Structure 1
């Protein structure tokens, strides 16, 4: 039987896909390069033709994840226009949807300990993704009186933290963390409380 990575004609991507499978099953530190190679159907030595080590492999998985994440956030933001509130809420929903659909990429991006500064390519795509959230926050902040207006970066960081918390506690089926409410509802109501405190909840969505 031919090696699966070579059969696909793209060994590098086969290794990334294998790493994502293992990250989903075991976490970012729960597998070795040899296991990634075995999952991809190639010899361990073949890994080093493309990646210097496990962190380089995870960094590429994170880069690809951020690219998908950025695309989803941009689509959600643009789909919510022209209402600043709807666009903002849409990016929050997109965050949760991404975590649900791409758990391996999500872990590689946010839980692997890999810095977005590791490579210029990773930094660029991560900056693009997080920039969408900041843009949505900036647009919405314009509806808050200047003396009560938080910096857009703080605004987006609050929603990011809330979204991440909902994902970690209630959207990953972790033992002992079952919620009587769906994760989407938790995030939606949490954002609503936050926006109400800023006087933004009355905006037409």
Structure 2
């Protein structure tokens, strides 16, 4: 029997929620369109009224994820208050919080293999989220002498790579989670080492 949401015209979102659940448990490529339809309580044929195929469904999961992610990052950045450095740290914590609370969205965004340029909406969502990180790195980079200042886009890429690495290795129920440190501590200390190397944090002791 179809779920109630189908009768209320919410089939499209019901399919997204079904896909997110499957992605969370199996990975972005670990389910079929038929399984998503079954999870939503409809026939596979009904899916094609809203999505051209599985990749189209995953792309919508990613688009919605970027919207949530950008909102969280903008809230964490808070216009660089009370300081660019503290707000920068808050964005890192927001990254981890998003990955933990929205694993299906996170995997659709970063692990599905889909190009962000698949659609204008998906590309715009990613650009909005990345703009927050770039804004934060630009604010920090302003405190580095121009001759020693790395491109803010490079700093942003380094921070994203570090954040993603912590999520992949230590923030999930996998062998890597045996670390004696919390993901939050690992990310904060890692970013601290990086920013210390740039001269943005005073040396220890």
How many residues end up aligned between the 2 structures? 202
Correspondence for 1:97? 97
SS at match of 1:52: coil
2:157 corresponding residue in structure 1 = 157
Which aligned pairs between 1:102-141 and structure 2 lie closer than 5 A? 102-141=102-141
Runs of 5+ consecutive residues of structure 1 not aligned to the other structure = none
Distance 2:8 2:90 in 1: 36
Shift of 1:197: 0.7
1:163 CA displacement: 0.3
Asked if 2 retains the 8 angstrom alpha-carbon contact of 1:27 and 1:107, the reply is yes
Q: Which secondary structure state, in structure 1, belongs to the residue aligned with residue 50 of structure 2?
A: coil
Give the deviation of 1:175 after TM superposition: 2.5
Would the alpha carbon gap of residues 79 and 184 (structure 1) be closer, same or farther in structure 2, given more than 3 Å must change?
farther
Farther off after superposition, 3-12 or 132-141: 3-12
* Over 4 Å off, 4+ runs: none
What is the distance in 2 between the residues matched to 1:172 and 1:115?
24
Whether 1:27 and 2:42 are equivalent positions in the alignment is no
User: Residue 8 of structure 1 contacts residue 14 of structure 1 at CA under 8 Å; is this kept in 2?
Assistant: no
Say if 1:70 and 1:129, in contact at 8 Å, map to a contact too: yes
In the other structure, the counterpart of 2:86 is: 86
Bigger Cα displacement from structure 2, 90-99 vs 71-80: 71-80
| Unaligned residue ranges in structure 2 (runs of 5+) | none
TM-score norm. by structure 2 comes to: 0.95
The residue that corresponds to 2:77 in the other structure is 77
Pairing 1:63–2:74 present: no
SS of the counterpart of 1:117? helix
Question: What is the root-mean-square deviation of aligned Cα atoms in Å?
Answer: 1.3
TM-score (norm 1): 0.95
Shift of 1:79: 6.4
> What are the superposed Cα offsets for residues 167-201 of structure 1, whole Å, 9 maximum, x if unpaired?
00000121254100000000000011111111111
After superposition, give the CA deviation of every residue in 1:125-153 in whole Å (9 maximum; x if it has no partner).
11000010000000000001111111010
